[in-house]
Structure 1
Amino acid sequence: MTGFGTLSFSARNTFVGVPMRTLETIGDAGVVILGAPFDWGTTYRPGARFGPAAVRDADYLEPDGRRPHLDTGIDPLEVLGVVDIGDVAVVPGYIEDGIDRIRRVVSAVAATGAVPLVIGGDHTITFPDAGGVADVYGHGEIALIHFDAHADTGASHYGMLHGHGTPMRRLIESGAVPGDRFVQIGLRGYWPEPETVAWMRQQGMRSFFMGEIVERGLAAVVDDAVRHAATGARGVFISVDIDVVDPAAAPGTGTPEPGGLTARELLDTIRRLGRDLQIVGADVVEVAPVYDPANITALLANRVILELLNGMAQRSLAG
């Protein structure tokens, strides 16, 4: 159900050269990277199916499976035992089947005790990947911190249940992640409509809009996010839509929205969350390489993954 080069747009290489495994040979890996090359939930610019391959390859260093961090001196790939099982074999155009395949693979990874780290793909995949983690840890038992320009809480996707504008609503409605265990950071722009924002508040979602981040400062907002997510949850799932970052640093995405976080702000915040919280799963989504001059968006997503792993390694070493 997963592998390398199984489809024309599937990844051929592992993430920065970490060991290649299959779903059946994960062994005692602490973190399992997998791709979800799924973009048939997009509403504007398609192409995120090519994200998993681009993010894995977006590195100017040797693909040797080693990445010692200059600031921390830690090689998180070694500390955590990171492996890569390739991409879920999703079939273009079959939304429900793709969602089911992603969920089954992520659930199987989480059931081994490893942390699944999913490279998308459009944001539709957060419904099955966070849902798959919740299937293992218990519905209502995990929190979710969501970085995005958009809330992704739409009631429907052109009349359909699933699309990249609906996954957070589907997670809440399914009971996988209750609204009061949701934290959203970076929302801005002109969607969703006021009725949907009112629904979000009714569910108890904590949404930090860019206006509040600018007024209070990102550090204060992240303090609140950590407290909110850590309270009573067995673990935290992190979902990063790369469009949370200003298009100046992340142009290669399907629905860019000006006025976002800087690349530095996102990287520092992600490392902090990995260090301060018990991470049980994560995804990085919406990288669309065709719109990505000089591969800067894919490189940023690659570094988001490495910074999250570094924070998790710091936490692991601290005991």
Structure 2
Amino acid sequence: MRPAADSRDPRASALLRSFSPGMPLQDRPVLLGLPYDGGIPSRPGARFGPKALREALGAHGTFDGQRELGEVVDMGDLTLASMNGARTHARIEEASRNLFAAGARPIFIGGDHGLTGSLIRGLAAARPSLRLALVTIDAHLDVREYDNESSLSSGTPFRRALETPILSGARTAMLGIRYLANSRYYLSWAREQGIHLYTVEDIAERGAVAVTREALSRVMKDADALYLSVDIDAADAAVAPGVSAVSVGGLSSREMIDVVRTVSAEPRLLGADLMELSPPHDENARTARLTARLLLEILSARG
């Protein structure tokens, strides 16, 4: 049990500063919640992720061992509940475009992972000449085929992202991939695109930091900027039961932290998302606390 509030031990929840019109966003970390899980075929609940993450910040402090973390502009949550899938994705693409056009460095919290495709499409609309690199931390490839905007799901975001002119397979790395969680067909497709794939076994054998550094060296060769996308289901079910697609054999919490910390230290990091936290399936808020810790790692690396 935590002791009573102590002004000499501030909580990370105090870092959130509510957005007000006219507030400058250039080069500032900006938080935006995406409370939508319409693209998840089973185990709904990720729409409650943004609220749970903000609450879990209270379990963490603000001193990262070297300095106090700075404020984060909190834009609140987009209003999405009454929208259908196609309208939701259009709304999210618009919000992403506006934030990147304003020069913000957004961190999106979801929400189903299918929304990431629209986030990157928004970035492409704001910065059409950008050469983007992408690092994903996810048990799954999420490159499924889709028919139209109404058939998007949590399994399609990176197929859509790779259709934008700013991204290529050679500038994409996927870490935490699990065999028996991805089909031969989609693994072959990903390799054909030139995507750099790193499995849970690679990370266990070689170490999270070494693998992440190698991935960054490959995708950043001719990139102007980097985007990080984290699906919390990359973590093992023992440490993160509160996700949309729970499974065993994933990354430890230490490995998740090390990968996110290493990626976030790249100076060209332009934006990030933390997706698929599903509070109804969590146990003692430990998945929410892990997700909140990952958010703080991103903020810490940015100085």
Calculate the TM-score normalised by the size of structure 2.
0.89
Instruction: Give 1:158 shift.
Output: 11
Of 174, 193, 198, the match for 1:203: 193
Query: What do you get for the CA RMSD once the two structures are aligned?
Result: 2.2
- In structure 2, the residue matched to 1:102 is 92
Distance 1:59 1:28, change over 3 A: closer
Structure-to-structure mapping, 1:1-319, within 5 angstroms: 16-22=14-20, 24-28=21-25, 30-60=28-58, 67-69=62-64, 71=65, 73-78=66-71, 82-92=72-82, 94-138=84-128, 141-156=131-146, 161-313=151-303
Unaligned runs of 5+ in 2: 1-11
Alpha carbons 2:237, 2:247 under 8 Å: kept: yes
Task: Please report how far the alpha carbon of residue 208 of structure 1 lies from its aligned counterpart in structure 2 after TM superposition.
Answer: 0.5
Deviation at 1:61? 5.2
Contact kept, 8 Å, 2:85 with 2:150, in 1: the verdict is no
Aligned length: 291
* DSSP 3-state at the match of 2:180: coil
- Please identify, of 199-208 and 262-271, the stretch whose mean Cα deviation from structure 2 is larger: 262-271
Q: Which amino acid letter does the alignment assign opposite residue 201 of structure 1?
A: R
Aligned-partner SS, 1:19: strand
Q: Secondary structure of the equivalent of 1:58? A: helix
In 2: Cα distance, 1:102 partner to 1:16 partner:
26
Sequence identity (%): 33
Contact kept? 2:227, 2:272, Cα under 8 Å: yes
Q: Aligned letter for 1:152?
A: D
2: CA distance between counterparts of 1:157 and 1:48? 24
Cα displacement (A) at 1:191: 3.3
TM-superposed CA distance for 1:15, in Å, is 5.4
Q: 1:136 to 1:285 in 2, by over 3 A?
A: same
Distance 1:139 1:122 in 2: 28
CA deviation after TM superposition for structure 1 residue 140, in Å: 5.8
- Structure 1 residue 220: deviation in Å? 2.3
Give me the whole-angstrom Cα distance separating, in 2, the residues matched to 1:170 and 1:158: 11
Partner of 1:8: none
Tell me the SS of whatever aligns to 2:260: helix
Q: 2:13, 2:57 within 8 Å by CA — same for their partners in 1? A: no
> Residues of 1 paired with 2:244 and 2:230: CA distance?
14
Deviates more, 1:241-250 or 1:220-229: 220-229
* Aligned equivalents of 1:140, 1:298: Cα separation in 2: 33
Q: Give the letter for the 1:260 counterpart.
A: G
- Give TM-score scaled by structure 1 length: 0.85
Out of 117-126 and 185-194, give the one that drifted further: 185-194
